[in-house]
């Protein structure tokens, strides 16, 4: 039996900018199955990251419906969305977005603490071991390289064992070799924890590692969305 973790029905996103209202997403309809890995590709400005933000409840749809694990994200308030993310989602960004005043270990432990996990630090420590940063736990982000920071971000996203892992161009700021290592880690974590992975990327190569790929163009799903056959 297929288990749908996320559905979007005619989801729209319009933002007010200096030059007037801009329609970013123009009616996206899709569904994502549990355990699936979905790649979102498309040219710059096509709405990939915005779509990911809608899925994570970080942005509120201005039209249509976004449902994740049975919750209508368009109807949840900001704090309810935060609680939902804490329990079900992990997010990895292109620019890592670690909190600069916290060490690696504290950054990873924070979502676990927010979720009330008793052994937050032990689990965070184990997670950092998993991503190969056992020796860097007490370092602040500014003391680490980009690759190391992204590994901390990965550990932070994976530590609460989220149902859905959202990754927004996680290798965009990294060199090829480091990026490759990060992707190995990301897919490794997904495989180990059985999370659903939704990955925004520019790279066809990376997208090819996903079960399914959706191509966005000008805020809409391009017709050839299923061009990449699930392998």
Partner 1 sequence: MTLRLATRIALRELRGGLSGFRVFLACLALGVAAIAAVGTVRESINAGLQREGAVILGGDASIALTYRFATDEERAWMAEVALEVSEIVDFRSMAVTETDRALTQVKAVDDAYPIYGETMLEPDVSLVAALDGDGSVPGAVMDRVLAERMGLGPGDSFRLGTQDFTLSAILVREPDAAAGGFGLGPRTIVRTSALENSGLLTPGTLFDSQYRMRFAEGADLVLIEADARTSLEGAGLRWQDRRNGAPGLTEFVDRLSAFLVLVGLAGLAVGGVGVSAAVRSYLDSKTSTIATLKTLGANRRTVFLTYFIQVGALTLLGIVLGLALGGLVPIAFAPLIEASLPVPAEFTLHLRPLAEAALYGTLTALLFTVWPLARTEDVRAAELFRDAGLSHPGLPRPVWIFVTFAILGALVASAATLSGLVTIALWSAAGLVAAFATLIGASIAIRLIARRLARAGWLRGHTTARLAMGAVGGPGSETTSVVLSLGVGLTVLAAIGQIDSNLRGAIARDLPQVAPSYFVVDIQNDQLQGFRDRLTEKPGVETVESAPMLRGIITQINGRPAAETAGDHWVLQGDRGITYSTDPPEGAVITAGTWWEADYSGPPQVSFAAEEAAEMNLSLGDEVTINVLGRDIAANVTSFREVDFSTAGIGFILSMNPAALAGAPHTHIATVYADEAAEAGILRDLAQTYPNITAIRVRDAIDRVSEVLRSIAAAVTYGALATLLTGGIVLIGAAAAGERSRTFEAAVLKTLGATRGAILANFALRSALIGAAAGLVAIAAGAAAGWGITRFVMDTDYVFEPISAFAIVVGGVLVTLVAGLAFAWGPLAARPASVLRARE
In this structure, the number of other CB atoms found within 10 A of the CB of residue 122 comes to: 12
What separation in angstroms does the CA of 50 have from each of 11, 46, 121, 164?
Answer: 11, 9, 32, 17
Say how far apart CA 104 and CA 220 lie, in whole Å.
38
Minimum CB distance to partner 1 smaller for 116 or for 176: 116
Q: Which residue in the set 25, 32, 51, 59 belongs to the binding site for partner 1 (CB under 8 A)?
A: 59
Q: Note whether 139 binds partner 1 by CB under 8 A.
A: no
In the beta sheet, which residues pair with residue 4?
33
Q: Note whether 102 binds partner 1 by CB under 8 A.
A: yes
Q: Which residue in the set 6, 28, 32, 109 belongs to the binding site for partner 1 (CB under 8 A)?
A: 109
Q: Which residue in the set 44, 142, 176, 223 belongs to the binding site for partner 1 (CB under 8 A)?
A: 142
Q: Which residue in the set 39, 42, 64, 111 belongs to the binding site for partner 1 (CB under 8 A)?
A: 111
Q: Note whether 58 binds partner 1 by CB under 8 A.
A: yes
Give the per-residue contact string, 144-163, with partner 1 (x = CB under 8 A; - = no). Answer: ------------x---x---
Q: Note whether 113 binds partner 1 by CB under 8 A.
A: yes
Burial string for 8-38 (b: 16+ CB within 10 Å, else e) reads beebbbeeeeeeeeebbbbebebebeebbbb
Give the per-residue contact string, 61-100, with partner 1 (x = CB under 8 A; - = no). Answer: -----------------xx--xxxxxx---x-xxx-xxxx
CA atoms in the 13 A half-sphere facing the CB of 134? 4
Give the per-residue contact string, 158-197, with partner 1 (x = CB under 8 A; - = no). Answer: --x-------x-----------------------------
Say how far apart CA 38 and CA 92 lie, in whole Å.
15
SS3 label, residue 176: helix
């Amino acid at each position: 039996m297929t288990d749908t973790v996320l559905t979007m029905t005619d989801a729209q996103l319009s933002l007010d900018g200096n030059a007037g209202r801009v329609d970013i997403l123009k009616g996206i309809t899709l569904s994502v199955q549990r355990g699936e890995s979905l790649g979102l590709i498309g040219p710059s400005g096509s709405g990939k990251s915005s779509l990911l933000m809608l899925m994570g409840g970080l942005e509120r749809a201005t039209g249509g419906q976004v449902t994740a694990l049975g919750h209508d994200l368009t109807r949840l308030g900001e704090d309810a969305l935060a609680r939902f993310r804490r329990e079900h989602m992990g997010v990895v960004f292109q620019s890592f977005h670690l909190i600069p005043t916290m060490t690696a270990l504290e950054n990873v432990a924070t979502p676990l603490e927010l979720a009330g996990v008793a052994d937050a630090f032990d689990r965070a420590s184990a997670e950092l071991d998993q991503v190969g940063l056992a020796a860097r736990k007490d370092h602040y982000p500014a003391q680490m390289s980009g690759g190391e920071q992204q590994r901390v971000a990965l550990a932070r996203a994976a530590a609460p064992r989220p149902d859905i892992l959202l990754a927004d161009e996680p290798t965009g700021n990294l060199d090829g070799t480091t990026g490759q290592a990060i992707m190995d880690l990301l897919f490794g974590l997904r495989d180990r924890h059985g999370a659903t992975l939704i990955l925004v990327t520019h790279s066809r190569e990376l997208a090819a590692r996903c079960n399914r790929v959706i191509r966005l163009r000008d805020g809409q799903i391009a017709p050839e969305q299923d061009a990449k056959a699930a392998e």
